[in-house]
Structure 1
């Protein structure tokens, strides 16, 4: 598939360095980020809420505060990144949210839970746009769209791995006097800290991408080597209020905002409560977490399918609309059939919904990359809309609705 093809130009060394070091490290960091954000889903199946004496609505509030923290510090975080450099700041971020994730081991009540979720969001703020900015210092716009799509595989991979790790770590319940949910927060938090050290040691930084003029001829003479400028330059980027305002008030971007916000709003409760839903269906908690991973893993072939359709048709917008419509159909079928099938049928329906929820996102993301004029505009258009949707979606599944399963 064209959009996943990592082309290597004449200056192969530089692009090999980006494609085989920068991109994989940022994808790995993204998967770690997603683990620490979504592992609460597995913790809930380990009686986390009951142990700290909170109900489902408090869990929703905690997640809402986490996403609010991401939104509040997203722009300031990227301002700092442009001053100190991607390697130092991104590795520091991963270390800090790893430490906060570990501190969840000591949560004993509502206040502690709300505080740790808030600080987790503040610590995670800016990682996604910061990583995309880092990629933009290595690639031009045309090259960047493919890499950004691949970068988001870290999100789906982390979401898929999280319940599997949760199922395994919950079996440590009672070891060394710790609950299973404490082992989840501790081990995955320590893993994030280890990843941060790896990023600090091995993530390279870059200021230019040399290629030959048969790709981009800036000299005016064919066949003469020239320097192709990357999409962004380290240290030269800032995000003024005027840009934020112009981006948010650009009516042409509203369909992107609405689509991203609405779909992510429905995906938000799925990432938190799917394991708990499966427990409510009658499955043991270990099986519930394992079954939860199936839908997330199926997201990958769904993405490949819609990416192939997008490349073949060369109609990204239409493909995005089709992918979202297919997800909507899955939700409607779930609503109609939920009480007409047994628990295995419900498991299949919920799995299908999870698999189709964000299959549109990498294509939509690539579409936005092409139409944004700067990395700052790109960050506002993609990340803040998605985080806003996730924040709103935390309140969709309320405590009094669990009986409807």
Structure 2
């Protein structure tokens, strides 16, 4: 471990809690949809897709500026402020009455969420060494995927409040989960420590110092420009965007898909949580393999490959199996959908040469993932829903295959750079 102190043991749990809260507020619309949200405000599936696109666009627009502000004000104040703001906006969704209100609110929610993920991951990189980072990022992503797992369960419980206090169930979802985010922001402000780097005492500590270094000064625009224009890392961004785009329709429509199999809305939300919970051991397993083998690129490709196989099986077998068989196939796809994601992020970070480059690279990673999510909102269309989205699944297969190819290209790029720089430059 990098530092044996109380602060060290608070950082990761607090950031995981914040990430889970972030994800719950982002994806609770899927539970709200099973509670009649769309019909209540008079919108269709295409409008829901557009609203989610606008939310992701807001994240992209402010991602890098947000991470630059982080360097000035520090993680405790900046991260807690973000969680508080998006919690308030999430709660205010109870006042949505029509299509315009929905689209405007989703756009503002995206702007408020911008920066949390790269800010938190950059903060982790200032507390942990390269050798420790992959597993810690995997645990950090437990917040995201754990939040996605518990969101349907919480939604199922809150839908039982339908009619209480004159509020429909979907309003209780937005209201209570938004208020929870505000409470979490108070915890983050009170307990999240600022990083304090001890002076290095030997050569090994000196290397850790350089890796963990952080500053409260601006990131030079030259660093931002150099990182953005570093074409040797473009395969990372393309691969991330392609594969992560396929997670967007899963998080939004899996409860509705399971409900269409004949389950009640509450049972559908509860059953959806099974696939999401499976992501937790999956990502930890691949993180363990990555650390054990030190082959981050190969591990990313293996994880993407497993997801690709699950999608192909779903596409080929969905029309040939019964209710529980289809549920099993969709659950498997959900469980394997993001096993590669934390390792991809760690792979990017360990190949950065400075704290500034790492900060901007993490922001670029999240921007590419969010751009994928934004595009992915249109994969599942209403005219494709009656047959289980066969066209949408084919699109997902093509995108995941493309992501696998670009991950392989990135690994080859690092190997070429290794040979040109004496074998010590990059981790393939």
1:72 has 2:64 as partner: no
- The unaligned stretches of length 5 or more in structure 2 are 389-428
TM-score using structure 1 length: 0.90
Question: Paired residue for 2:12, among 18, 23, 27?
Answer: 23
Q: Which stretch of the first structure deviates more once superposed, 190-199 or 307-316?
A: 307-316
State the Cα distance separating 1:243 from its structure 2 match.
4.1
Aligned to 2:391: none
State the Cα distance separating 1:248 from its structure 2 match.
4.0
Q: Secondary structure at the match of 1:138?
A: coil
Aligned to 1:236: 217
Deviations 1:355-396 (A, max 9, x none): 000011112221111112232332234211111111110111
Aligned length: 385
Question: Paired residue for 2:92, among 90, 93, 103?
Answer: 103
1:280 has 2:260 as partner: yes
For 1:327-342, what aligned pairs fall within 5 Å after superposition?
Answer: 327-342=307-322
Q: Secondary structure at the match of 1:358?
A: coil
Aligned to 1:169: 158
Superposed CA RMSD in Å reads: 1.9
1:262 has 2:242 as partner: yes
Aligned to 2:136: 147
Equivalents in 2 of 1:22, 1:388: separation in Å?
28
- The unaligned stretches of length 5 or more in structure 1 are 1-6, 219-226
Question: Paired residue for 1:127, among 116, 126, 142?
Answer: 116
Aligned to 1:364: 344
For 1:362-401, what aligned pairs fall within 5 Å after superposition?
Answer: 362-373=342-353, 374-401=357-384
Question: Paired residue for 2:323, among 337, 343, 365?
Answer: 343
Aligned to 2:78: 89
1:319 has 2:290 as partner: no
Deviations 1:240-292 (A, max 9, x none): 2x544443443321221122111111011101110011111111011100110
Question: Paired residue for 1:202, among 191, 197, 203?
Answer: 191
Q: Which stretch of the first structure deviates more once superposed, 308-317 or 52-61?
A: 308-317
State the Cα distance separating 1:133 from its structure 2 match.
2.5
Structure 1 contact 232–375 (Cα < 8 Å) conserved? no
TM-score using structure 2 length: 0.85
Deviations 1:69-117 (A, max 9, x none): 0011112222322222221111111111000000000111001110111
1:310 has 2:290 as partner: yes
Equivalents in 1 of 2:13, 2:185: separation in Å?
14
Q: Secondary structure at the match of 2:319?
A: coil
Equivalents in 2 of 1:217, 1:135: separation in Å?
18
Structure 1 contact 69–121 (Cα < 8 Å) conserved? yes
State the Cα distance separating 1:39 from its structure 2 match.
0.4
State the Cα distance separating 1:40 from its structure 2 match.
0.4
1:403 has 2:392 as partner: no
